[in-house]
Amino acid sequence: MCGIIGYTGTGNAVPKMMKGLSVLEYRGYDSVGIAAQCGKETDIRKCKGRIGALEEKLRDCPIEGSRCAIGHTRWATHGGPSDENAHPHRAGEVVLVHNGIIENYKELREELSEKGATFLSETDTEVAAALINDRYAALRDPVAAIREATARMKGAFAFGILFDGHEGEVYVIRRGSPLILARGKDGFYLASDMTALLPFTKEYCAMKENEIACLAPNDATLSLADGSEKTPDWKITTMTPESAQKGGYAHFMLKEIHEQPAAVVKSVSPRVGKNGLPDFSADGIDAAFWQGIKNIQIVACGSAMHAGLVGLRLLEDIAQVPTTVHIASEYRYHPPIMPEGTLVVIISQSGETADSLAALRYAKEHGVPTLGIVNAVETTIAREADRRIYTYAGPEIAVATTKGYCTQASVLWMIAAAIAHATGRIDDAKARKIVNDLLCDVPAAMEQMLSREDRYRKIARGLIDHEHVFYIGRGMDYALSMEASLKLKEISYIHCEAYAAGELKHGTISLIEPGTPVLAISTDPALFDKTESNIREVRSRGAQVTLICRSDLSVPQETADELISLPVSSDAATVFSALIAIQCIAYETASLLGCDIDRPRNLAKSVTVE
């Protein structure tokens, strides 16, 4: 949603803010700003646009000598992108940056206006600053003011706050939105995620909800709700600064596509026992847990939901466990029946997705066991779920997920195998084969597909002049088509829809005109004849067809204009190979169109508000 950064210590604060904001820009890039303390004064520089616009402002009017600052890069919610709506916001003696959303801001704004407060922006954040300032004026204690003000707020927030009269101190609180503290050799930091802190330190502490941190140049303390204080529990991250850099690739998305073979191995290998069988004991999950599951409800958003659709096929086909997939934003408003033996699985790359977190809490309130599949360690979903499985994908900087989706699908494949083996539905040999397929065949097949850039670029050239593109498939290929469609439209801005191939005759085929691009996926040989029949239907109406299918299928030359053959060393290898193809086609299309691939318009990486 938005990204925040802060620092206090003995170093030069402004370059640190700019470095951190450049890393955090994937969380939002409508506007950007910093507030830096210089003695008793706090200078604010902010503007509409990306970090380059702020750099120009600082060249024209530099801030020198600051040792304490906060910064923000914005994804607009309340109020459009503008200089006035950019953070930080000042209200009286308080300067504040915010990631989240204050749901009752209108009510609070009216109340504060009646008390004489004036507002310069359209944002809920300025209201939050005014409310904290109101309490600070009365209490003269930053912690008490923050505690009283946030008790009045409904919604989600992570705040970095400066108070006049408290030079060198940054106050921090979170509820619902992520925030991490860090300790470096020259002071203390805060940020929305660890990637922004890696240039400075590897020591971190993930803040818990409603804790208030006070960061000073030589000390950091946490104030708890009961009034007690404690020192942060510092840990060492395994992430490296290099993992959050492009590493010679043109875009983060391309780098992350190429990291997927290794990412699958990292996700699968910790769940393999010495006997080569699925084993989640390192995640605190034994065979008895899997044996008690009677049905599964997968809850997720966007690409994570698409991974869930792949998981549905696997869980029902391999483990024979009835499974449903739910869009997280809809889950609480029409919750499904949860009979005994239900497991609710929450999938979230960030571990902070607001709708998914709300669904998790709904399930827990109703006494239903929960399992979180997340990438980011010690995030809210990971902490609050009864059990958690980390995907170990590593940092994913591009807004459009690739290895996040890939590792979620690989973990779901392992879960299906673990349940099937624990319940006796597959024997040791079958379970070992699934594990071997994922550990060996899948990475090798993906590497093979990564070497076909020229092929993908040729297909992309056939898409760039069209306003509408369609993906079709049956079974799991329909689930893959949904992810393929999302990838293409979110980074190239070409309208693209996915349809179950058999549904074309029920209305959609009316959209096919001469030259309309249709991409068909076929990884299941049992469904190929049916899919090919649907392809012939669109070709007879002039569609330009690309077929992505298994290399062992006999495909008549007239079936497709372009053909991408997939390795068939195993079913898993074929599916993950198709994934590489659809990601690379989307990437090459966006590249040919000159789009901002890592930062698509109107999107942010982590959606931490509902």
Asked if 600 contacts 490 with a C-beta cutoff of 8 angstroms, the reply is: yes
| 353 φ, ψ (degrees, to nearest 5) | -55, 120
Looking at residue 516, its amino acid is: T
- CB 394 within 8 Å of CB 266: yes
Are 34 and 44 within 8 A, CB to CB? Answer: yes
- What backbone phi and psi angles, to 5 degrees, belong to 390? -85, 140
The set of residues, in sequence order, having a beta carbon less than 8 Å from that of 135 and lying 6+ positions away, is 144, 145, 146, 148, 149
Q: Is 139 exposed, middle or buried (0-12, 13-18, 19+ CB in 10 A)?
A: middle
How far apart are the C-alpha atoms of 581 and 586, rounded to whole Å?
Answer: 9
Non-local CB neighbours of 183 within 8 Å, separated by 6+ positions: 189, 201, 203, 204, 205, 220, 232, 234
178-207 burial code (b ≥16 CB/10 A, e <16): bbbbbbbebbbbbbbbbbbbbebbbbbbbb
Stated as kind and residue range, the H or E segment containing 533 is helix 528-539
CA angle, 507 then 512 then 515, to 5°: 175
2 is catalytic: yes
Choose, from 2, 214, 549, 584, the residue flagged as catalytic. Answer: 2
68 an active-site residue? no
User: Can you tell me the distance from the alpha carbon of 380 to that of 415, in angstroms, rounded to the nearest whole number?
Assistant: 22
Which residues form the catalytic set? 2, 605
